[in-house]
């Protein structure tokens, strides 16, 4: 996987995880792409800046600061798809009725 794709995938799933912090799959997948970035591409740290119509990633790779930006709608599309899928909206039982 090339660096740009790995950064995009990491950012997409990170946005999902931030919106759904209870989502273990999103947490694990964020870690998976994070490992690809560090182990395969030598990315040392990433800062995310959310701007009006895009996300800007500022990252260090091999000691040098780099930047990439991604369209906000494209990044947030995965979250919208997940939230539109009824099977991902499990309802959790409330306290049992008193009586």
pLDDT digits (tens, 9 = 90+) for 35-60: 999 999 999 999 999 999 999 999 99
Q: Beta strands of the chain (E only): which ranges?
A: 43-50, 54-61, 64-71
pTM of the model: 0.84
Long-range contacts of 51-58 (CB under 8 A, 24+ apart): 55/11, 57/7, 57/11
Which residues, in sequence order, are bridge partners of residue 61?
A: 43, 64
Summarize pLDDT for 15-40 with one digit per residue, the tens: 999 999 999 999 999 999 999 999 99
């Amino acid at each position: 996987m090339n660096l740009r794709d790995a950064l995009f995938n990491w950012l997409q799933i990170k946005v999902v995880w931030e919106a759904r912090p209870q989502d273990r799959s999103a947490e694990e997948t964020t870690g998976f792409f994070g490992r690809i970035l560090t182990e395969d591409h030598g990315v040392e740290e990433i800062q995310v800046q959310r701007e009006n119509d895009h996300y800007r990633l500022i990252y260090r790779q091999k000691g040098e600061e780099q930047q990439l930006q991604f369209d906000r709608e494209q990044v947030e599309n995965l979250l919208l798809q997940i939230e539109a899928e009824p099977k991902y909206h499990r309802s959790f039982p409330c306290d049992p009725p008193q009586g």
